[in-house]
Structure 1
Amino acid sequence: MRCQSWLCLFCLVLPWMLCQGTSRSHPQQVHLSYPGEPTAMTVTWTTFAPAGSIVEFGPEPGRAFIASVRGEASLFVDGGCERRRLYIHRVTLRGLVPGQRYVYRCGSLRGWSRPYSFRALPNGTNWSPRLAVFGDMGNINPQSLPRLQRDTQQHMYDVMLHVGDFAYDMDQYNARVGDAFMRQIEPVAASVPYMTCPGNHEEKYNFSNYRARFSMPGDTEGLWYSWDIGPAHIISFSTEVYFYLKYGPHLIQKQYQWLEKDLQEATRPDRRRRRPWIITMGHRPMYCSNNDLDDCTKHESIVRQGLPEHQYGLEDLFYKYGVDLELWAHEHSYERLWPVYNYQVYNGSTAAPYTHPRAPVHIITGSAGCKERLDSFVLNPREWSAVRIEDYGYTRLHIVNSSHIWLEQVSDDQDGKVVDGIWIIKELHGPEAWH
């Protein structure tokens, strides 16, 4: 197959996305992630030639780099016909003071990044994490990105959750679109941990661009993992194992067994007392009321019910272990569901549906902005659908304490107006809460 002529297509249509005129060993695409270890942070970046992997950093106030840590680089060869070679550098900073702000730069004597700063996550459970949550953001029409960047500059978030679908697509034009996207998000992702899960747009070459570019906790290359933050346990998983069986149907079983083991550990009485909130993030929803033919519009959704004969279905698994909140994307819109299980609504009460809900709460937030634009809804809302909004935007998640979560939806179309907001209030967590 003849290689894509990216020079005529890419340079003429998207000239602003090309690499800057810097050395091939100069760091770019800088981003942070939380490695799951208290008092640690991982810095990841890319070069196009071999170079050292060094992070220099120091506490703020002040701009002095008083410490230096070395890491390692791995060669990533894109699956496109050019077989482009990228060097992905990873350095983990350890021994950070919880809550302390740090200034850092990354690179080597062959070139350094500009200085960035971040706040080390507070340790323990007695604090109130603030997260931005969204999915489906490309580098064409990333409408919410400038507002997310402004929020980040105002230190509004401790973590970003990107719930699948990046760049549209990272593999395109021999991974140059992935490079452009990672440069676009750098002002945000180099300042707060940017935590991810894979979506369908990452599928090419067995999710290789996703697995190479992001540094998530655990040893599954970010396809599924979990981590703790404040009074919450967050589980990221891949809905895509159910749809791309060519990469191995065994992945469905492997992930499901991992999920159940992780949930068993998270719901041990001593663990659940310390971190009562269990929150999941996966790309394709179990339910949605969009006007399309996606999996979530089907009564027997694959994500919800699993393979034939209900093998490896996730709804029963999450219900069994008392998952409190399920975050989704894929649909290019925002939808908040009533507490729901098996198509039945289990509100806490008529007056306060999210106070002591008797089933998990689902939020679909896939309207950050991409070239595929927004998705519409069916005319008649489903009985389990509480709020549906077709604006570009993103979600803010504030885990206030062990019993209260505040969720709000920001509309970028309406200049940052908060267009939806709910309190989830639960004194009791776990499957016993459903009864």
Structure 2
Amino acid sequence: MYAASMSRRLPRALSRISKDLLNPSPLCPASEGMGSGLPASGKWVLSRSFSFQPCHGEGNVLARSQLWPINFQKIECNSIYSPILTANYSSEANTESTASLESVQELYEKMLKSVEARTMPPNALLWSMIGSCSNQEDIKLLFQILQKLRIFRLSNLRIHENFNCHLCMRVVEACVRAGAIDYGLIALRKHNVYGLSPTIGSAHYLLMYAKEHNDVKLMKKIVNIMEQNSLRPQPGTVDIIFSICYNTNASETLFMYAQRFVKAGIKLRRSSYDIWMELAARTGDSDAIWKINSLRGRVSKQYTVASGFPCVKGFLLEHKPERAAAAIQYLYQHLPEKTKPQVQGELQKLIIEWPLEVAKRKNKEERQAFVESLKNDVTLMVTSILNKGLDLSVDLEKLPQKV
């Protein structure tokens, strides 16, 4: 009788469980300057995008009842998006704020004992365990208990859904903190035995780790896993990837990803275009500078110092010093007052550093001739700048004499 009564009440109770609705904003169409259509892999389809915002609060990731999760509030998370979670969380999970003095091993054993006794362990134990992980062995125990909890929820509580998105982000954050990157990569896979729901926010934690360590190889691995598991990059993702490529001078890698992102219709931020144009100028590719600038113009008509000086360098590469001077004049006139002092510093860097950066990529036979030609063009540009009455003092004596 009791079982029959519960089976009748369960559907009505579950029908009252609230769900967060996602209202994503439409994406911008793909830019035509770099080609239309999807990348060769076809994994990143045109979709909606959100700005990445870390989740706050713990959430009730387990269950509040040992038998039936009647009050369990499910947060729907699509792994393609990074939604802002705004669910009403259980007060039980807030106990994580009181730091536990127990070791990860002790917390693991407590939770394991509870599961073996066929009772759901308190939420606070899992949150304390996640917050206490500090090394590879701790993360290994964490994933072991997650797998056991996933099985327990499925077999005893009849909960087929994964844990909510926030738990996955906290787990990946713990993996990064403990240096257990391989486990963090596992958490990005949508089909896993740990009940984790990967999001683009989880991928950002790993990409930031790769950025801190200038690890292009790890970055490529993360992007590949994102592609395989339908984690669509967002504008913030592109910023991180471009920064890694710029810091490591991986120009070919940046151009490859940039083309794929543009073809997939991912809207790049102005800062991403700035990085892209700067690296194109560093490689001495004037054609790439103008193509990127055309795409950038669809996002913002206003130039920054970072996007303006690649155009100046593009004119110098094409032996047009007068146009380079006119570009600096235009840039100086239209920049905000607080930004104008940066122009002189960038101009001095153009004189001292940039010719050698470009010359390094030339053949040995071409290097000296290239530097001599660029010296003449830079001198003519500076003369033209002074004739235009711009108050920009530069030291031409620091022009490189030899490569």
TM-score by length of 2: 0.31
Q: Which has the higher strand share?
A: 1
TM-score, with length taken from structure 1:
0.30
Larger helix percent = 2
Rg larger in structure: 2
